Amino acid sequence: MFIRDNLNEMHKFVTIVLGLSAVLAALVPAVSLEQDSQPQRKNNSNSRSSSHPCFCELTGTVDDCTCKVESVSSFNDLHINPRLTSLLERDYFKFYRVNLKKPCPFWADDGSCAFESCSVCPCSEEDIPCGLKEEDKEPSAKYSAKENSKSEEKDCDDRSNEEIRLSALDTTISKKDKEAFETWQEHDDAQMDFCEPQDEDSVDMEYVDLTINPERYTGYKGKSPRRIWNSVYKENCFAPDPEITGYESLASQSFVKGLCLEKRVFYRLISGLHSSINIHLCARYLLNEGKLGKEIWGPNVEEFTRRFHPDSTGGEGPIRLKNLFFTYLIVLRAIDKAAPSLANEKFYSGMPEEDADVRAAVMSLLKSIRKFPSHFNESVMFQGDAQQLMEEFRTHFRNISKIMDCVGCDKCKLWGKLQVQGLGTALKILFTPENKPLKLKRQEIVSLFNGFGRLSSSVKALGEFEALIEAEGKGEKAAGANGYF
């Protein structure tokens, strides 16, 4: 009896083991097949095996930071880019107010891009959410207890502007004194701005829906854009030798290494932004006019290689790509530092349910950003007697924001102004003294998040270009080669 019972137990055990072995045997080839069928995912790992010269620098520690390129790329693709892409389609973030008719303050107009692809389609009055039309009003006037209920969604259309102003007015002081206090406050706040303020009262200020005016290659090239970048680098990037001509020399790694930390940061910021813009143009390139007038846009590997291959850039292209990760980390840290202020933001568009969804999406993004383990440490900059250097830093960047008004292509100008303002807002956040409250306008928040979205899409696009180039080298047709990233 004892022996029979034990034999039965042994038989059950052997049956279970054999069953598990069969399951494991079935799983192993399935896992291998999944990995083999998705080679593009290797760029999200902690090692980069590509041997193409464009990507030779995209490994190891990001200059003047503590984290590695691979960890930034993986973190962005898995945690940041999906959330950010969805968020930027929301009304609060997709409508940007801009003046594209402001004249260039530095030289005579050298002509505008004549291509249809350079044009920008502004919004009509009825396209703009009612809440955004009140963006200059006091925050306390935007929300009431009733507006938090679904039944009051039309409330912002019915309230008069006079009622809004009265509800925000401090009646303990005179109107004249209040205006004086506001002027002083605006002056103090402007001292921390890194971008030239837009003329909010100008009749030329228009709303643009960024989702229907995407950044992509427009055909704008030649003397005009080269003049823009020469002015950015040569006149505003702490150039020690006025005899140097051409921004390529000023953007070289050998030149940057000889600078102090603050000036290196400035150069790498601009270089990273420049690289990101170039990646966007290569990633959304007009590949074919298409049939029946339907244009086909997608990644242009040849153009990407021309802009970043060592042979065509004096060896600097791969380093410029790495600077993209530096700029990304700067903005990532700025958003993390601004999290307490952003957590109190209403993200008001006049539609309570929409605004609640946006607030929840922003909080989810902020939580993900908080988890990044190696944020840039801005506290090591401008230490000791460095106030003059800080002012130089700010002045140079403000000049760059002015140069964006000299861009001859409206679509390029739109995205140039937005991305420079976004980067300027990030710098404002990082270097606002701890004893001063951080105040961000809607324009700054919109440009900050959209600018970060552009950097995020560039980091993701690098992995796509690497997969395309590797597939071409193997004689394969990569997935997505004829579509968008």
Annotated binding site for FAD: 216, 218, 229, 271, 274, 307
What residues form the annotated binding site? 216, 218, 229, 271, 274, 307
Q: Is 118 a catalytic residue?
A: no
Beta bridge partners of 99: 205
The DSSP code sequence of 163-203 is: HHHHHH--TTS-HHHHHHHHHHHHHHHHTT-SSPPP-TT-T
**Catalytic residue of the set 65, 113, 406, 409:** 409
Q: How many CB atoms lie within 10 A of CB 410?
A: 22
Evaluate whether 57 touches 466 at the Cβ level (below 8 Å).
no
Evaluate whether 436 touches 455 at the Cβ level (below 8 Å).
no
Q: Is 104 a catalytic residue?
A: no
Instruction: Provide the residue type at 362 as one letter.
Output: V
Evaluate whether 211 touches 411 at the Cβ level (below 8 Å).
no
Give the CA distances from residue 447 to residues 2, 67, 70, 405, 419, in Å, rounded to whole numbers and listed in that order.
79, 26, 27, 16, 6
CA 246 and chain centroid, separation: 27
Burial of 58 (0-12, 13-18, 19+ CB in 10 A): buried
Question: Tokens 């006019």 — which residue?
Answer: 289
Axis crossing angle, helix 317-337 with helix 352-370, rounded to the nearest 10: 120
Give the DSSP letter of residue 360: H
Residue of 419, 436, 262, 255 whose CA lies nearest to 341: 436
Q: How many CB atoms lie within 10 A of CB 421?
A: 27
Residue of 157, 263, 223, 195 whose CA lies nearest to 440: 195
How far is the C-alpha of 290 from the C-alpha of 482, rounded, in Å?
12
Would you say the C-alpha torsion 450, 456, 459, 463 has a positive or negative sign?
Answer: negative
How far is the C-alpha of 364 from the C-alpha of 345, rounded, in Å?
14
Give the CA distances from residue 80 to residues 64, 76, 319, 452, in Å, rounded to whole numbers and listed in that order.
22, 5, 24, 10
Beta bridge partners of 96: 208
| Positions marked catalytic | 409, 412
